[in-house]
Amino acid sequence: MIPTLVACACLLPTLVAAQYQIVKSYEGSTFFDEWTFYDNFDNLTNGDVNYLSAKDAQTQNLAFINDAGRAVMKVDNSSTLKFPSKRNSIRIATQAQFTIGSLWVADMTHVPFGCSVWPAWWSSSPTWPDGGEIDTFEGVNQVTMNQMGLHSAPGCTHSNTSVQSSTLINSTDCSILANANEGCTVTNPTTKSYGAGFANAGGGVWVTEFAVKGISIWFFTRSSIPDSLQSNASTIDTSTLGIPVANWPADGCSPPDFFEPQYLIFDITLCGDYAGNSNSFYQTCTGVCYQDWVLGTPSNYDNAYFEVNYVRVYGEPGELTVISSDASPSHTADAVRVLSILAGLFDPGIWTR
């Protein structure tokens, strides 16, 4: 569901700044070279999509580099479907994992939106949920503002000592066992952070800091990107970024205790446990999610695509930041999901991606 927003009287002292240097870049013609395509139906969130392999995504023109040199990942918007078909889409995860002490920067000009659409730019450990999940960007249906959040093992919370600009805190318990796995989420209080508002503003940049001191997320519209993120910055000093829009300090959720190295993930599913949930769907959409939208006119998905200038990862100087791995984060998460549901730990109707 889309949670009710409550005001936050967050403290605004000075954040402890850190310096990072670039260790990995995904951009241009080689953007897709070091990502794993899920290549399966959505068996994680019950979405009405088939996630394509790299070969099929290229053949069907659902994952490609456009003439502007940007990576595009999209939902099929040309096929007319009949029951019980699922619509083709994309889910990719980095082949590398990134450790605590890293900073992730994603520059996008367009994000997916529309009724039935549930996109995310996020991260997960290979041992989810024990190793945590960080949602930098998540939208659903026709909402107008991005939601950020953490999902973790019990014990991690959003602290009232948070240093952040958003006062829209939806929930404070990050545990997957609390509130049907809602997580501890914060809404970005600008309509330029999602949907048509994001696209009309020329997109923007998200910065996610994954650090011992806590987890922070900054968002900048195209017109407000700071000089330190302009061009091909090889180093970033977080003191130049200002106050993050969302912050989870270590006194409420210590990253070394609740998080492990993370894969970075893009995905677009349709309907499923969140977008198709009646509490979410009917807040901004009409009809029946699958029958009227997924099986409806293909042009329903003309705006269901990511367009990405780059993803860059920065690390603390002298520290190990990049861990190469052949493990599949998606199938690991799926195994945990099945075991958890069988154990009756919580309601499987709302689940992470």
- Catalytic residue numbers read 133, 138
What CA–CA distance (Å, rounded) separates 34 from 134?
A: 20
- The number of angstroms, rounded, from the C-alpha of 304 to the middle of its chain's C-alpha atoms is 15
Residue 79 burial (10 A CB sphere; 0-12, 13-18, 19+): exposed
Contacts of 12 (CB under 8 A, 6+ apart): 163, 243
Read off φ and ψ for residue 42, nearest 5 degrees: -75, 90
The H or E element containing residue 255 is helix 255-258
CB 97 within 8 A of CB 263: yes
CA distances from residue 8 to 163, 170, 209 in whole angstroms, order as listed: 11, 9, 21
CB 108 within 8 A of CB 225: no
Sole residue written with tokens 């677009």: 268
What CA–CA distance (Å, rounded) separates 169 from 335?
A: 31
What CA–CA distance (Å, rounded) separates 196 from 122?
A: 20
Q: Which two tokens stand for residue 249?
A: 């300090």
